Amino acid sequence: MIETSPNYQSAKVARKSSDDRQTAWVMAAPALVGLLLFVALPFLLAVMISFTNLRLGSPLPLQFVGLEQYRRVWLDPSFRQALLNNGLFALVMVPVQTALAMGLAILLNRSIPGMAIFRTIFFMPVVFPMALVSVIWTIIYAPSANGMMNAVLASITFGLWEPRDFLNDPALALPAMMLLSLWQGVGFQMVIILAGLQAIPTSLYEAAAIDGSNQWNQFRYITVPQLRNTLIFVMLVTSILSFRLFDQVKIMTQGGPNGATTTVMYEAVKASFEQQKMAKGAAMTVIFFAIVLVITTFQRILVTADSVID
């Protein structure tokens, strides 16, 4: 009788809930410790350093300078150029990469023999280290007529294309980076969108087909609305990765020519380790965090608004 009483059942449920919470904390502990040690603490240290005049190898004593480093960063034309390049890179990459990833996901969302092989082929560039990819594409962009990109363009245009030095041309260097990043990263977004497509109930398409809806209307009124949150997430991740652009720049152009490919992360690393201006580099990273925070907040607002509408 005691074991079946309501009080006993409530205590049992509460005890089970407590055990589940403890298990959850134990399982999450390694990730939380890693987040604290390798993300939170370094960022707090960067914030503290950004308010000082810390410079490696300097005989001057460490001093608190307030917002002076932020003023210097904002007045630095290289940093403003880096922000412009990051913004232009993101402005092009986010819609183009998302649209291409969605097109590939739709093409690969079919139950036909060998489809897994095609999915693997399109995803394979994602697993390659960016350093390796950058070296390979540097060879592809070789300025001679025998360079792969120049040779392909010459073949397409029946010899009308003149060889160009892509990575040393201010007008072509950043688009060359975009093409590389598009090829290397589209597979990641494709997999995410493909998962979203497979989560859409097939009954919606069957009902639409019965009602006489064509494929374009099904895509417009079923696929896109059902993928809204997935697409927002993909665009958010692509935006963050666009602002984190560094490896390609470091290996292929070192920010040149004339700052045409420099980025916020490249400027921060250069200021911290090449110029040994640790405080200035820390201020740049804090600004970068603020930009990412704004993008994340905007994404959260969009998702919340969508939930309210639904």
CA-closest candidate to residue 80, choices 292, 286, 267: 267
Q: Say which amino acid occupies 195.
A: A
Q: What are the pLDDT tens digits along the chain (310 aa)? A: 445 556 656 666 666 666 678 888 888 889 899 989 988 898 899 999 999 988 887 777 888 888 999 999 989 999 999 989 988 998 899 899 999 999 999 988 887 777 888 888 888 888 888 889 999 999 999 988 788 899 999 899 888 888 889 999 999 999 999 999 999 989 999 999 999 998 888 888 888 888 888 888 888 888 888 888 888 888 888 888 888 889 999 999 998 888 999 999 999 999 988 888 899 999 999 988 888 788 778 766 776 665 555 5
The angle formed by the CA atoms of residues 76, 289 and 189, to the nearest 5 degrees, is 115
CA-closest candidate to residue 192, choices 245, 143, 295, 122: 122
| Cα 178 from chain centroid (whole Å) | 13
Q: Cα–Cα distance between 241 and 236 in angstroms, integer?
A: 9
Tally of CB atoms within 10 A around 24: 10
